[in-house]
Amino acid sequence: MTAILPGATIGILGGGQLGRMTAMAARSLGYRVQVMDPDPSCPARFVVDACFEGGWDDARVAADLARGCDVVTLEIEQVSIACLEAAAKYAPVRPNAGPMRIIQERILQKTWLAEHGAPLGAWRATRSEAELADAVAALGGRVFVKSAQGGYDGRSQVKIGFGDDTTAVDAWRLLGAKPCVAEKALDLDKEISVMVARAPSGETKSFPSALNHHEHQILEWSVIPSSVSADLERRAQQLACDIAAGLGSEGLLAVEMFLTKTGELLVNELAPRPHNSYHASELACVTSQFEQAVRAVCDLPLGDVSVIQPAAIANLLGEVWLGENGQTREPRFDRALAIPGVTLHLYEKHKPRKGRKMGHLSAVGHTPDEAVQRVMEARKLL
Ligand code: ADP
Ligand code: MG
């Protein structure tokens, strides 16, 4: 395998914030970048050489993108297998259709994880309303129902048994009467993630784990390092690296994990791309997740993942721009940036919407706690 050296062109399927930040890292390294996205004014648009307009199942456009590229990667797992295969006719696609087929469908992903010995919470695949009703009863009544296909930031999910009257019948209909997984709602102590990078050469490096805090199923803040015990860190690293090796995936693979109140370490889900919980790697680590993505897909030596200083991020959702009366307001970034150690990242999304990730703040600190405190204080000042 020969390295794809700076000066070459990288194609990214998807031009959202993850594609944008990967493109910025690629440019720093001297690569040219092209993206494909359904939205011609997607966040990556402003930092790339070309943007091809195409939906996640538009194989013709994926082929057009790949024709001018030396390697193709992705920033969203919803890209169809047909797109990956069409692109692969012209350039190596990393990760390729093999692992993507498993990862992009929740039932297949969970089945694969179970068969490969990864610890999971109780769950069932459900393909009909009756199967879902049975599963909800069998799993104890408090359940997360998640569509097998699509979904992010808690979308395409319905919770049952959380105080409202949502039933299995409601959930089945709300999710479009399509296959889904039913998961027992777990009592979580913490959520962590481990980002693994794997190059075609087989070289693998995993970042120290991140600690993640979600509100309403959307990541609110995240910090590196996670400060979990050395034993837990070792187990989380082993688990993530075994999964990446088992899948044989190239590029990045984020493994989201649950730590339950009873002390179990369980796999939640996989993401074959840069991950929101590693945005802090830009300040915390020698190599950011975005630079590592570029190195991995170009088969360059992987970068040092050591933590230089603790760093945290807080997401900025559309709500920050939306006033009480529904009018948009300009957040007070000047106030947030006055806090020592705080930096701002905006994705150039033009329309703020509730729950839409518009940007993030990051902060360094002497300790992980201090980094979280600073970033949350900065966000309050907006
Ligand atoms: P997404 O693809 O939207 O990230 P996840 O499956 O990761 O979907 O769910 C989002 C968040 O919802 C998780 O990070 C966690 O906070 C919560 N959650 C999901 N499943 C469960 C579960 N079985 N038990 C407890 N909390 C859960
Ligand atoms: Mg998740």
Q: What is the per-residue DSSP string for 258-282?
A: EEETTS-EEEEEEESS--GGGTTHH
Quick count: other Cβ atoms within 10 Å of Cβ 29? 16
CATH class of 9-93: alpha beta
Is the omega angle on the peptide bond into residue 340 within 30 degrees of 0, that is, cis? no
CATH topology of domain 122-184: Dna Ligase; domain 1 (3.30.1490)
Q: CATH 3.30.470.20 in the chain, residues? A: 188-380
Query: pLDDT digit of tens for each residue in the chain (382 aa)?
Result: 699 999 999 999 999 999 999 999 999 999 999 999 999 999 999 999 999 999 999 999 999 999 999 999 999 999 999 999 999 999 999 999 999 999 999 999 999 999 999 999 999 999 999 999 999 999 999 999 999 998 777 789 999 999 989 999 999 999 999 999 999 999 999 999 999 999 999 999 999 999 999 999 999 999 999 999 999 999 999 999 999 999 999 999 999 999 999 999 999 999 999 999 999 999 999 999 999 999 999 999 999 999 999 999 999 999 999 987 778 999 999 999 999 999 999 999 989 999 999 999 999 999 999 999 999 999 999 9
The residue to mutate among 103, 123, 144, having the most atoms of ligand 1 within 8 angstroms of its beta carbon, is: 144
Ligand 1 in reach of 151 Cβ (< 6 A): yes
Nearest of 212, 196, 237 to residue 99 by alpha carbon? 196
CATH topology of domain 188-380: D-amino Acid Aminotransferase; Chain A, domain 1 (3.30.470)
Ligand 1 in reach of 185 Cβ (< 6 A): yes
Contacts of 125 (CB under 8 A, 6+ apart): 107, 110, 111, 131, 148, 179, 181
Contacts of 127 (CB under 8 A, 6+ apart): 179
Is the whole model's pTM more than 0.85, yes or no? yes
Q: Whose CA is nearest to atom 14 of ligand 1?
A: 217
Q: CATH 3.30.1490.20 in the chain, residues? A: 122-184
